[in-house]
Amino acid sequence: MSSAETVNSNKLRGPGRPKTKDVKKQIAPTPCAWCDSTDLPLKYVWQLQKKKKEFCSQECIVRFREIHRKGICTQCENIIAAGSPNKEFCSASCMAKNQRLNNVLSGRPPGQNNNNDSVNNNNSPRDARHSPVTAVSTRSFQYESFNVFNWDDYLRETDSIPAPSNCFKQALNPPLNEFKIGMKLEALDPRNVTSTCIGTVVGVLGSRLKLRLDGSDNTNDFWRLVDSNEIHPYGHCQKNGEMLQPPLGFRMNASSWPAYLTKILNNASLAPESIFQPEPPTPKSNLFEVGQKLEAVDKKNPHLICCATVADIKDDQIHVTFDGWRGAFDYWTRYDSRDIFPVGWCTRSCHPMQPPGQKHKIEQHASKNKHSRSCNNHSEADAMIPASPVTVHFHRGCKGGPFVHCSTLPSMVTAPTLQKLAKLCLQEILAASSDTTQMQHLLFGLSGDTRIVTAAGKNFTVKIPSNLQDNENAVMAEFLKTLCTTCGACQNLITLDPGPEQCSDCEGQSTKRAMKMTDNVVSPPSPKRDRPTILTEETNDTPKPASSNGTNWSSESVRQPTGPPADWGIEEVIQYITATDPALRVYAELFRTHEIDGKAFLLLNSDMMMKYMALKLGPALKICNLVSRVKGRRHMSL
C-alpha cells in the first residue's frame, strides 16, 4: 500500500475515540462556586480549610472573596450573615456540632464542652448591625432555623394588636401555589422594571416563588408571590406587542440574545396560564396605625418572613421595624407593598415564620436549661459517632386513607438518623398523595419544628417532632402512628418492624369485601380459590427478621424492581442496590441527592462516583459490579 493510500485510509477512520477525561467533563461539568455556570472552564481556585472552591472568572472569585471577608462558618463553610453576632459559626447548630466533634476527637466526655472559651472569645466589640440579643448572650445568632411561633401568645405578652387584613394588598386566603421547579415564565426584571425577561422557577415556598432570570447568575435571584402582577405566562409580551429583553447584566453578547432565547425555550417546561392567580385589590388608602403588628419580608434576606411592627406612618409610607432586632434591617415601604402580610399569613400559606429576637427570654431560659443542655450535648455527641442506619417499612397492602396511593409507596426507606428518616417518610407520603395541597395542610398541623421537604417537583412545609434527636425508636414509632392517623390510614401502614404487606385487620376487611362481592355478583370466579395464592405470595415476600434491632438484612427485605433497567426510577434503583447488597443501603440518600435513575445508573463508573459522589473505592467497585450485572441482564433480555 502506498503512503498516499495510507493517509486517505486514516482520514476515513476519523479522529477516533475521545479520551476518557474529556468524556467525564461532558457528562458532569463542575459548576462555578459563585455563579453556578458550566459554560467556562474553572481556572481560579480558592482553597478553604476543608475543601476548595473553583471559579470560572476573576470577577466571580473577587466577589466571593468580598463575601468571604465578612466571615465563613468553621463547621459547614457557608457564608455567615453580616449581622450575626458570632463570627465563627452561622448557627447554634453548627457551633454545637463543632464542639461535639472536638470532644469526640479529643476523648473528652460528651457532656463537657468549651463554652467558657467560646464566651470569652466572643466578647469582642460588634458592629452596629448586630442584634440586641448579644447584650444578654454572646452565643446567639441572628437567624436560627425555623421555629414554631404562636401569634396569640406573642400578642398577649406584648399587649399589642394586629393590623386588620383590609390594610394589606393581599388575598384573604393565601393563593394556591401550583408552580413547579424548572417551569419558565415571563417576569419583570427587578433591576430594570421596563424590561420583561424569561425567568425560571428555582424555588417554591408557600405562596411564593424564587425566580432566576435566564442569562443571569444566582446572585440576582428574587422572590414573587404567585398572584403578583409582575409575572405572566409565556406569550404575554407578544400579545401586548412587546418583546422579551435580556436581563440586566446579561452574561453573553447582546447580539446572541435571539439565538439564546430560542435555545432555552426549546422543549422547555412552560408554566400554564391556569396556575397564575389574579392580583388582589389595592386598599383605597393607608389604613395602618402605629404599633400594629404584621408579618414582613426581610429585604436583606428575602427568603425570610419575620415578625414586625408599624413604627411610623408618613403619607403613603409605613416604617417597618423587626421585633427584637436593631434598626439596620428596618425599612420604609408603601402601604400597598406585596412584601407585608397580615398576622397569621405564614401559617395559612404553610410558609416558615421567623420569630422575633428573644431578648427578654434568654436570661430566663439560660438557668432553667443548664441541666437539659448538658443532657442534649451528651445525646448529640453520641450522635456524632457513626451508628447503624434506621429503616422504616411501608406495608402497601394496608389501607392508605383517602389521599395516599399505597401502590406508589416504596417497600422501605433508610436514613442515618431518625429526623432524616421522618423527613423521608413525609416526603414519600406527599409523593404518593392524590391531593398534595390537602395533605400538606394535614402534615403542617402536626406538632414539632418546621422543615421543608421536596416531593413531586415542589417544596412543602411540614413539621417533625424535635424529640427525634434523642434517636429513640419508641419516639419514632409514636410519630409513625400519629402520621398514619393524620392521613386516615391504617396504623400499620408504616412501621419500624418488617412484616407482611397487609396486616390482619386490613386482610380481614379485604376478605369481607370479597365475600360481599361474591354474594352480589351472579356466578363470579370464586375469590377463595385465588386467596391461597395471594397469601402464599405475601408469605414468600415477607422479610425474615434476623434480630430484634433489625441490623441484619437479607435480600428478601426489598422487592427487586421489574421492567427494563433504563426505565427504573430513583427509588427502584435504590431498591435494587439495597436488595442485592444490604451494606450499600447507607448510600440511599446519596442516590436521591444526585437523582440516580435507571439511565444514570447504567452510566456510572468508579471514577465518576469517586470524583462527583465522593464515594470510596470499595463501595464504588461494588456499585460498578451491580451496574455490570444489570447491563448483562439487559443484554440477555434483548
Encode 212-253 in three state secondary structure: EECCCCHHHCEEEECCCCCEECCCHHHHCCCCCCCCCCCCCC
Mean of per-residue pLDDT scores for the chain: 73
3-state secondary structure of 364: helix
Q: Out of 184-188, 408-412, 489-493, 550-554, give the one with best mean pLDDT.
A: 184-188
pLDDT of residue 336: 94
* CA dist., res. 111 & res. 374, Å (int): 5
Residue 390: how many other CB atoms lie within 10 Å: 21
In the chain, what percentage of residues exceed pLDDT 90? 20
Range 157-183 average pLDDT? 92
Q: What are the pLDDT digits (tens) for 469-502?
A: 766 788 888 888 888 888 888 888 888 887 777 7
- Whether pLDDT at 551 is above 50: no
Q: Give the pLDDT score at 129.
A: 34
Least confidently predicted of 117-131, 357-371, 595-609: 117-131
What are the cell numbers at 279?
392580583
Question: Is residue 591 within 8 Å of residue 619, measured between CB atoms?
Answer: no
Please tell me the distance from the alpha carbon of residue 140 to that of residue 457, in angstroms, as a whole number.
35
Q: What CATH code is assigned to 151-170+281-349?
A: 2.30.30.140
Q: Looking at residue 512, what is its pLDDT?
A: 58
Lowest mean pLDDT among 140-149, 418-427, 496-505, 567-576: 140-149
Give the range with max mean pLDDT: 152-166, 514-528, 537-551: 152-166
Contact 78, 68 (CB under 8 A): no
Query: 134 pLDDT band (50/70/90 cuts)?
Result: very low
Please calculate the CA angle 74-135-95 and round it to the nearest 5 degrees: 20
pLDDT at position 436 is 80
Say if CB 508 and CB 402 are below 8 A apart: no
Question: pLDDT tens-digit profile of 223-239?
Answer: 999 999 999 999 999 89
User: Which whole-number Å values give the CA distances from 185 to 4, 233, 235, 425, in the listed order?
Assistant: 58, 5, 9, 32
Among 632, 634, 594, CA closest to 613 = 594
Q: How confident is the model at residue 25 (pLDDT cuts 50, 70, 90)?
A: very low
Q: What is this structure's pTM?
A: 0.44
Cα–chain-centroid distance for residue 313?
38
Higher pLDDT, 597 or 543: 597
Closest CA to 281 of 142, 167, 121: 167
Backbone angles phi, psi at 591, to 5 degrees: -65, -35
CB 335, CB 314: distance < 8 Å: no
pLDDT of residue 68: 64
Q: Do the Cβ atoms of 342 and 165 come closer than 8 Å?
A: yes
Percentage of residues in the chain with pLDDT exceeding 70?
Answer: 67
**pLDDT tens column, 106-129:** 555 444 444 333 333 333 333 333
pLDDT for 26 equals 47
For the segment 311-338, the average pLDDT, to the nearest whole number, is 89
Coil, strand, or helix at residue 88? coil
Look-up: residue for cell 433489625?
A: 550
Please name the helix (run of DSSP H) or strand (run of DSSP E) that holds residue 308, with its range, or none. strand 301-314
Instruction: Tell me whether the CATH fold assigned to 151-170+281-349 matches the one assigned to 184-275.
Output: yes
Q: Which CATH class is domain 558-637?
A: mainly alpha
The continuous run of DSSP H or E covering 310 comes out as strand 301-314
Q: For the segment 509-532, what is each residue's pLDDT rounded down to a tens digit? A: 666 555 554 454 444 444 434 433
Give CA–CA dist 492/552, Å, rounded.
22
Q: State yes or no: pLDDT of 285 exceeds 60.
A: yes
The whole-angstrom separation of Cα 292 and Cα 54 is: 48
467 — phi, psi (to 5°)? -75, 0
Most confident of 34-48, 303-317, 430-444: 303-317
Residue 294 confidence class, pLDDT cut points 50, 70, 90: very high
Q: Read off the pLDDT of residues 42-66 as tens digits, 9 standing for 90 and up.
A: 877 776 655 677 888 877 777 777 6
Higher pLDDT, 73 or 462: 462
Q: What is the pLDDT of residue 50?
A: 58
Please tell me the predicted confidence (pLDDT) of residue 432. 85
Looking at 78-82, 117-121, 355-359, which range is the least confident one?
117-121
Instruction: Determine the Cα–Cα distance for residues 111 and 365; give it in Å rounded to an integer.
Output: 19
Helix 418-431 to helix 473-487 angle, to the nearest 10 degrees? Answer: 20
Find the DSSP H helices in 115-190. Answer: 115-121, 151-158
For the segment 550-575, the average pLDDT, to the nearest whole number, is 66
Q: Would you place residue 276 in the very low, low, confident or very high pLDDT band (cuts 50, 70, 90)? A: very high
Tell me how far apart the alpha carbons of residues 84 and 159 are, in angstroms, rounded to a whole number.
Answer: 29
Q: What is the dihedral of CA 371, 375, 381, 387, to 10 degrees?
A: -170
More confident residue, 515 or 534: 515
* pLDDT score, position 392: 85
Say what angle helices 436-444 and 473-487 make with each other, to 10 degrees: 130
Q: Give the residue among 204, 97, 79 at the shortest CA–CA distance from 142.
A: 79
CB 580 within 8 A of CB 555: yes
> 582 versus 170: which is more confidently predicted?
170
- In our burial notation (b when 16+ CB lie closer than 10 A, e otherwise), range 150-181 reads ebeebeeeeeeeebeeebbbbbeebbebbbeb
Task: Tell which CATH classification among 3.40.640.10, 1.10.3430.10, 2.115.10.20, 2.30.30.140 matches the domain 184-275.
Answer: 2.30.30.140
Residues contacting residue 291 through CB under 8 Å, at least 6 positions apart = 160, 161, 309, 310
pLDDT of residue 277: 93
Rounded Cα–Cα distance for residues 574 and 590 (Å): 10
Closest listed residue to residue 32, CA positions, set 43, 20, 18: 43
Domain boundaries, the chain: 44-135, 151-170+281-349, 184-275, 558-637
Q: How confident is the model at residue 439 (pLDDT cuts 50, 70, 90)?
A: confident
- Which of residues 107 and 418 earns the better pLDDT score? 418
SS3 4: helix
